[in-house]
Amino acid sequence: ETKKETLGFQTEVKQLLHLMIHSLYSNKEIFLRELVSNASDAVDKLRFAALDKSELLSNDPDLKIRIEFDKEAKTIAVEDNGIGMTRQDMIDHLGTIANSGTAQFLESLTGDQKKDAHLIGQFGVGFYSAFIVADRVSVVSRHAGTEEATCWESAGEGDFTVEPAEKAGRGTKITLHLKSDCEEFADGFRLRNIIRKYSDHISLPIEMVKEATPTGDEEEEKKADDVVEYETVNTATALWTRPRNEITDDEYKEFYKHISHDFDEPQTWSHNKVEGKAEYTSLLYIPKRAPFDLWNRDVQRGLKLYVQRVFIMDDAEQFLPLYLRFVKGTVDSNDLPLNVSREILQNNPKIDSMRSALTKRVLDMLAKMAKKEPEQYAEFWKTFGQVLKEGPAEDYNNKEKIAKLLRFATTHTDNDEQNQSLEDYIGRMSEGQDKIYYVLGENYQTAKNSPHLEIFRKKGIEALVLYDRIDEWLIQQLMEFDGKKFVDVSKGDLDLGKLDSEEDKKAIEEASKEKADLIEKIKEVLKDKVEEVKLSHRLTDSPACLVLSEYDLGIQMRKVMEAAGQ
Ligand code: ADP
Ligand code: MG
């Protein structure tokens, strides 16, 4: 028989709680959104578990969240009949293991109280936000399908306790003992407003005790006081099932925060209902900020999958390609079986066609943003451009679409900002130019100072300045854009095609004859080191430069191969 146990919070959690308790929080009310969001997640998990084990649901089938308050006792309680937590779950999730939001938040801390207090507002931190308004929090929970309940309690300082408790049904009840300066929250009107503001999109009913409407009849009012009646205070329909024109931007934004666990607003979104051969509804969001694990390919990612409004799984990664891994959202299918598993999702023609439709949606959404909101798109590019550059290799079919979304630094703008599209470049091409020239370098400075660019500068021909690690790989995948080949300025005989004037060509020929002796001598000296010595018009200021032959690997690819031990 386990008794009461006192355990310490993990160091990071302690740091976080300290900060939360001691720094001013301008937006205290968000604690309720966090607790409701967790309750809703818990109910989703229960619904899913009940697909296999219907008895989990049958004894208490009306899934809901209840919020109660007591003005005298200065408490608020949030209760759900979801999946619940075991003793070990509580120890793990409410004390020792920091969730991803917490880790990311702690990473961005500056040490400056004021700045950090502001940061916390951007991140939010889930369950622990209860301590913004409470100086004591108790959680009583019973995991579905078990008999034992556990009570977790803490004052949000160094430690917490867990001990056996009594609880009639499955689920979790969180009670907040409000701080003296937060008593205002123990109020029906205030709570209803907060729920409508942040949690209206939650698809299950959030109930509160019905406020007695005075009838004038004292007897009747007394009776009404004895029977507690509840009423639903939110809309309680899954947001994506509602018609687009009835959903406000604020509702879309709150829904995004709920599903993404991001505390910033999304950059943009696209909500679509598809009917016909396949029937599904998708709601896809482009975030503003990159998650800290964007570059970790092993991290779970993907859309939240529902089948006929029943939550099936988070992170269904089969619905979008890897290079769109920054997209968040939900997809609700009407024709997948309720018992779909990750295995079924793989190699399923139905999923494949949904995936290609959803991919197009995202690319179209980005194209629209690029056209209509170039400033927003520039921000997007700074955050996710590097990921999008993986696209042409992964998704050959959409190569052209992706190419239009790419942005580069060029000799035209003459700075390192990647803000020029290939269409911009083509629009500026000189008459007779039929290629897209680019220079590669390890960083912007090296690339832009390449001697190979001298002749381009002299002739006023623009070149893309590529300096990201992935760029050479990207160009190799693209090969051409709008029928124009990409040409590395450092490779092969620089054929400027019609851009070379007849005089230039003649001048080179003559000079080559004249300097034949000199060229021979240089060849003698460098004989093992170079393949060929040529007189060229590439350079205008530097006397000589090394040139790779057309079929050689580029400088960056060589480095990549070297690093791989080749
Ligand atoms: P997140 O919701 O981002 O996972 P939170 O800090 O909000 O992070 O919650 C931490 C974890 O605690 C949840 O992932 C869940 O495992 C557990 N939890 C919190 N509230 C509940 C609840 N009402 N029912 C069941 N589990 C819960
Ligand atoms: Mg949460």
Q: How far is the CA of 126 from the centre of ligand 1 (A)?
A: 7
Q: Which ligand sits closest to the CA of 45?
A: 1
| pLDDT for 301 | 84
For residues 366-393, give the mean pLDDT: 96
Contact indicator for 466, 438 with CB cutoff of 8 Å: yes
**CB distance 40 to ligand 1 below 6 Å:** no
Mean pLDDT check: name the lowest of 81-90, 174-183, 347-356.
Answer: 347-356
Q: How far is the CA of 127 from the centre of ligand 1 (A)?
A: 6
**CB distance 80 to ligand 1 below 6 Å:** yes
| pLDDT for 265 | 92
**Is the four-CA dihedral 104, 106, 111, 114 of positive or negative sign?**
positive
- The answer, yes or no, to whether residue 145 has pLDDT greater than 90, is yes
Percent of the chain with pLDDT over 90: 56
Report the helix count and the strand count for the chain, using DSSP H and E: 22, 19
Of all protein residues, whose CA lies closest to atom 20 belonging to ligand 1? 38
| pLDDT for 557 | 59
Q: Give the span between the Cα atoms of 45 and 409, in whole angstroms.
A: 47
Tokens found for residue 323:
């290079």
The pick from 65, 85, 92, 127 for probing ligand 1's pocket by mutation, whose C-beta has the most ligand atoms within 8 angstroms, reads 127
Q: Give the span between the Cα atoms of 154 and 8, in whole angstroms.
A: 10
Report pLDDT digits (tens) over 492-502: 556 665 566 66
**Binning pLDDT at 50, 70 and 90, where does residue 129 land?**
confident
Q: Give the span between the Cα atoms of 105 and 109, in whole angstroms.
A: 7
| pLDDT for 272 | 96
Q: Give the span between the Cα atoms of 48 and 35, in whole angstroms.
A: 20
Mean pLDDT check: name the lowest of 35-49, 342-356, 436-450.
Answer: 342-356
Q: Which ligand sits closest to the CA of 81?
A: 1
Q: How far is the CA of 48 from the centre of ligand 2 (A)?
A: 18
**CB distance 123 to ligand 1 below 6 Å:** no
Q: Which residues does residue 435 pair with via DSSP β-bridges, in sequence order? A: 485
- The answer, yes or no, to whether residue 42 has pLDDT greater than 90, is yes
| pLDDT for 513 | 74
Q: Give the span between the Cα atoms of 130 and 139, in whole angstroms.
A: 11
| pLDDT for 25 | 59
Q: Which ligand sits closest to the CA of 40?
A: 1
State CA 184 to chain mean position distance: 35
Residue 148, helix vs strand vs coil: coil
- The answer, yes or no, to whether residue 218 has pLDDT greater than 80, is no
Q: Which ligand sits closest to the CA of 37?
A: 2
Q: How far is the CA of 403 from the centre of ligand 1 (A)?
A: 41
3-state helix, strand, coil in the chain (%, to 5): 45, 20, 35
Mark the residues whose beta carbon lies below 5 A from ion ligand 2: 37-38, 126
Burial, 247: exposed, middle or buried (Cβ in 10 Å; 0-12, 13-18, 19+)?
A: middle
Q: How far is the CA of 545 from the centre of ligand 1 (A)?
A: 62
Report pLDDT digits (tens) over 239-260: 999 999 999 999 999 999 888 8
| pLDDT for 455 | 84
Q: How far is the CA of 38 from the centre of ligand 2 (A)?
A: 5
**CB distance 127 to ligand 1 below 6 Å:** yes
Atom of ligand 1 nearest to the CA of 128: 6
Q: How far is the CA of 42 from the centre of ligand 1 (A)?
A: 8
Question: For all residues of the chain together, what is the average pLDDT?
Answer: 86
Against a cut of 0.80, is the pTM above it? no
**Binning pLDDT at 50, 70 and 90, where does residue 216 land?**
low
Report pLDDT digits (tens) over 533-557: 666 655 555 666 666 665 555 655 5
Of all protein residues, whose CA lies closest to atom 11 belonging to ligand 1? 93
The pick from 36, 41, 262 for probing ligand 1's pocket by mutation, whose C-beta has the most ligand atoms within 8 angstroms, reads 41
The pick from 93, 120, 152, 204 for probing ligand 1's pocket by mutation, whose C-beta has the most ligand atoms within 8 angstroms, reads 93
| pLDDT for 521 | 77
Q: How far is the CA of 39 from the centre of ligand 1 (A)?
A: 8
**CB distance 82 to ligand 1 below 6 Å:** yes
Q: How far is the CA of 35 from the centre of ligand 2 (A)?
A: 7
Q: How far is the CA of 545 from the centre of ligand 2 (A)?
A: 59
**CB distance 42 to ligand 1 below 6 Å:** yes
Report pLDDT digits (tens) over 420-434: 999 999 999 988 889
Q: Give the span between the Cα atoms of 232 and 229, in whole angstroms.
A: 10
Q: Which ligand sits closest to the CA of 128?
A: 1
For residues 259-266, give the mean pLDDT: 85
Of all protein residues, whose CA lies closest to atom 4 belonging to ligand 1? 99
**Is the four-CA dihedral 119, 122, 123, 124 of positive or negative sign?**
positive
**Binning pLDDT at 50, 70 and 90, where does residue 122 land?**
low
Q: Which ligand sits closest to the CA of 142?
A: 1
Atom of ligand 1 nearest to the CA of 45: 25
**CB distance 126 to ligand 1 below 6 Å:** yes
Of all protein residues, whose CA lies closest to atom 7 belonging to ligand 1? 126
